[in-house]
Amino acid sequence: MRVGVLTGGGDCPGLNAVIRAVTKSLIHHGHCEVLGIEDGFEGLMLPVPRVRALGWDEVSGILHTGGTILGTSNSANPLRGDATVAQVRHNARELGLDMLVVIGGDGTMSLAYGLHQRIGLPCVGVPKTIDNDIANCDRSFGFDTAVATATEGLRRIESTAYSHHRVMIVETMGRHAGWLALESGIAAGADIILLPEIDFDVEIVAARCRQREQRQRYSIICIGEGAKESGTRQTMRERVAHSPEPLRLGGVANVLRERLAPHLQSEVRATVLGHLQRGGDPTAFDRVLATRFGHRAAQLVIEGATGRMVTLQRGEISSVPMSAVANVQRTVPLDHDLVTTARDIGICFGDQ
């Protein structure tokens, strides 16, 4: 059996741990050969596919390292046109792939599901995202590391806020899901947390900051990149020149700074954590979770259970159909216990 492995979408702590677990589990099972597909789906779309053999030695010593040894791409689309689909079909046959293990987020899962439908290439999925927004998955690897990084950033910002009596706004990633801002905000003791799921009122945010000006004389605001002000239709986006994705989420912290400053006596500053949240070595939790995911993916391959994605639900490793994950985003429910807890301990969400 020849099994391909690829990582798609943005990089994420724990990817190498999954690659290692998948490869070693399949080799340990026997009669399995593993090929690493380089640079995500792009490696399968080229006239000469980019692949490398993955043996026991090739994946040893990578458990704790960030990023992905295979490289990745968040713009490659193997379903872009009949010619591309035909090239991917040809490459898969020439490589002798019996199955493909795809590690990625909801977008990557939708592409894998599409390949399974269009060219009959059996796929098994492994959920990956620092945003924790994959449907039917309670927690994805990479999220714990990103929360730890964002929490440390918020805590470091607080010392400056305290010293200079400032309102400090810290923008996290997360797209249209607020899990990262919510958990890191609570962990860091933020005074205000602004989520994509809860439209905020600038005057309510300013009122909370004015209250703190009279007491603690500083405020920490944690805002998810997808958050938006009440009455607006979309979140802030930034233009990126020469990019396949010309409009990206980002910049809402700076807009909020401009909107807040006229209402406050305190100086207002904004910090965007950006890709710091994606990089670095995974936490112990993410290393273990990624290893469990990789092992379960290998079991699905051996069982021939194609068209399924590994998942964590209610503390147990299981799997769900890719069709239940493709192009679906898991956002923060307004009645989630973390939201209720935050409100009860005095955290403001910028709403009534």
Terminal C-alpha separation, the chain:
58
Check the annotation: does 183 bind a ligand: no
- Let me know the angle formed at the C-alpha of 111 by 110 and 112, rounded to the nearest 5 degrees: 90
Check the annotation: does 278 bind a ligand: yes
Residue type (1 letter), 35: L
Check the annotation: does 130 bind a ligand: yes
Residue 2 tokens read as 């020849």
- Contact status, residue 13 vs residue 129, Cβ threshold 8 Å: no
Check the annotation: does 61 bind a ligand: no
Q: How many other C-beta atoms lie within 10 A of the C-beta of residue 162? A: 14
Q: Is 131 a catalytic residue?
A: yes
Check the annotation: does 238 bind a ligand: no
Check the annotation: does 131 bind a ligand: yes
Handedness of CA 347, 271, 149, 239 (dihedral sign): positive
Check the annotation: does 149 bind a ligand: no
- Contact status, residue 180 vs residue 232, Cβ threshold 8 Å: no
Q: How far apart are CA 187 and CA 80, in angstroms?
A: 42
Handedness of CA 306, 62, 141, 193 (dihedral sign): negative
Check the annotation: does 191 bind a ligand: no
Check the annotation: does 340 bind a ligand: no
Check the annotation: does 133 bind a ligand: no
Which of 131, 133, 144, 286 is the catalytic position? Answer: 131
Check the annotation: does 107 bind a ligand: yes
- The enclosing H or E element of 164 equals helix 143-164
Check the annotation: does 2 bind a ligand: no
Check the annotation: does 275 bind a ligand: yes
Whole-number Cα distances in Å, 111 to 11, 25, 75, 114, 191: 17, 25, 11, 5, 40
Q: How far apart are CA 94 and CA 344, in angstroms?
A: 60
Q: Which residue positions form the known binding site for Mg(2+)? A: 106
Q: Which residue positions form the known binding site? A: 10, 105-108, 129-131, 166, 173-175, 225, 269, 275-278
Residues annotated as catalytic are: 131
Q: Which residue positions form the known binding site for substrate? A: 129-131, 166, 173-175, 225, 269, 275-278
Q: Which residue positions form the known binding site for ATP? A: 10, 105-108
